[in-house]
Amino acid sequence: MRKTGVLCQHNTVSGSPPSPFSRSLAARLHEAIVAAILATDQPPEDPAQSALLPSVRALAAREGANPLTVAKAYQHFQDEGLVVALRGIGMMALPGAARRLREAERTRFLTQEWPQVAARMYRLGLTLADLPGMDALK
């Protein structure tokens, strides 16, 4: 079972849903890789490093994950055509990956996350004007 934007839905060995820890780790890895890919859209200090993503080992160390888990997370983004592994160089975002990923993440936010946030705001009697920092978004 695979959905775009989701690293793991079920344990492939037992077929059972992942534990809360593995769901949390998968979400952290997903967000870290998304942030790294989106950062390739920004002008880097060193243009040669513009699309280079954190290595599997570096990301594993930073997130406290097993390198095999990180490699599986990167594989998801490879399957989506967003990154490529270049032997001896590392993982790189493909041209247009940041734009495609930003569009997919916006769609996911608006269709999956925002309705829950909006419903909670309604229950709490909050409006957009009540949210801190909203003036900066205008």
pLDDT tens-digit readout, 22-74:
568 888 999 999 999 998 876 555 555 567 899 999 999 999 999 999 999 99
Rounded to 5, what percent of the chain is helix, strand, coil?
55, 5, 35
Distance CA 93, CA 115 (A): 30
Nearby residues of 4 by Cβ (< 8 Å), 6 or more positions away: 80, 104
Boundaries of every domain in the chain: 20-137
What residue has token string 């041209």? 95
Q: Is the pTM of this model over 0.75?
A: no
Q: Measured at the alpha carbon of residue 52, what is the angle toward residues 90 and 2, in degrees to the nearest 5? A: 75
CATH for the stretch 20-137: 1.10.10.10
